[in-house]
Structure 1
Amino acid sequence: MREEPTPPVPRSPARGTPVFEQFTAPEQVGPVLREALAACWTDVSNAGGAAGFPYPPVDRSDTVPALERIIDALAPRSCRLLTVVQDGEPVGWLNLRRDLFELIAHWGTLHHVQTHPKVQGQGYGAALVQEARRVARDEMGLEQLRLAARAGVGLEDFYGRLGWREIGRWPGALRLADGDDRDEILMHLSAL
């Protein structure tokens, strides 16, 4: 059963007010939405976005199998897919996960945070991350969130403005090309 969308994003971009949608089971994600999410991921990656594919160009043969793995893992307690929709079209999405092992079940992680290039800079990404924070706290009972981000594209500043704190780096962990090694930035959000 698909959950009701949450209230609209507080900021109202020119093209219309977006809403959030949340999916907690594979059968909730129909073929049209799957195609739209894969297309978004392809466009984000090919525009240089740090969303899981470091070597553009990518196409559906890259994004569809990775997306299907995320969708297949959806479960209310451990794995959710959040989308932000503008004028009926998904323009961003992320994956919110938790490990159910009791030692670490109080925190979750964000993965593949992305907004389509045509709406970047309009507040959708920030609103989506804030919605993930609300879902993590209010619906999943999580106490903190973590994520890893690619250095060199301003993500630490983006997340910092949303209350996230850099807690460390893996130096040179991400090799984008010969001579282009980037740090992987470890970020933390507590007191959800």
Structure 2
Amino acid sequence: MTSKNAPELRQFWHRDQIDAELSRELIDCWVEVSNAGGAVGFPFPPVTADEVGPAAERLFAGLHPDRSRLVLAMVDGVLAGWLNVRRDPHPLVAHWGTLHHVQSHPAFRGRGVGSALMDHARQIARADMALEQLHLAARSGMGLEHFYGGMGFEEIGRRPGVLRLAPGDDRDEILMVLTPL
């Protein structure tokens, strides 16, 4: 990827930072990724903006500088991907965070958007949120464990067959961690 087309990475930590246009772009991206088979919270495509919109609003409402950050990748002014970094405020687990909804728009795949998002999320987790480790769950059968493994995440367990996508299509949930940040 040339520097001209490198993603511009932005983070948001309050609902008021998300305007109607950005909200629409994020929802549209989520719909496109879901309908392309992405494991991002809606396992049974096709989905519509009417279905994804309420989930996006819940995500926006939960944004908070200490507990939840939204990270966006823009390429030439277009939303190319996004993810959510969260921490549980309970003192026993407040030192680690979880990545949710990691996605790159199908039109931008293979251009380093996912890697740029993951690198930036790691920096935010460490420097801005004072986290010590990041966790994520990935669906087996998608090759995601290889992508995340290349980013330094290690598999720490599996929940065998916990995800039933269709009769006869049960998938493992792969639990991964990145530590230290």
Matched residue, 1:171: 160
Residue in 2 aligned with 1:67? 56
Give the match for residue 87 of structure 2.
98
Counterpart residue number, 1:123: 112
- Gaps in structure 1 of 5+ consecutive residues: 1-10
Query: Which residue of the other structure, out of 2, 5, 8, is the alignment partner of 1:12?
Result: 2
Deviation at 1:17, TM superposition (A): 2.6
Q: Is the 1:12–1:18 Cα contact (8 Å) retained in structure 2?
A: no
Q: Give percent identity, aligned residues only.
A: 54
- One-letter amino acid of the structure 1 residue matched with residue 161 of structure 2: G
Tell me the amino acid that sits aligned with residue 130 of structure 1: D
Quote the Cα distance in structure 1 between the aligned partners of 2:151 and 2:129.
20
Q: List per-residue Cα deviations over 1:108-154 (Å, max 9, x = no partner).
A: 00000000001111110011011100000011000000000100000
Give 1:138's aligned residue.
127
1:77 aligns with 2:83: no
Give TM-score scaled by structure 2 length: 0.98
**Shift, 1:90, TM fit:** 1.1
CA RMSD of aligned residues (A): 1.0
Q: SS at the partner of 1:90?
A: strand
Q: Pick from 143, 150, 155: which aligns with 1:154?
A: 143
The TM-score normalised by the length of structure 1 is: 0.92
Number of the residue aligned with 1:24? 13
Task: Identify unmatched segments of 5+ residues in structure 2.
Answer: none
| Amino acid aligned to 2:177 | H
After superposition, the C-alpha distances for 1:21-49 in whole angstroms (9 at most, x for unaligned) are 10000000000000000000000010111
Length, aligned pairs only: 181
1:43-71 Cα shifts (integer Å, max 9, x gaps) = 00101111111100001111111111000
C-alpha distance in 2 between matches for 1:63 and 1:121 = 25
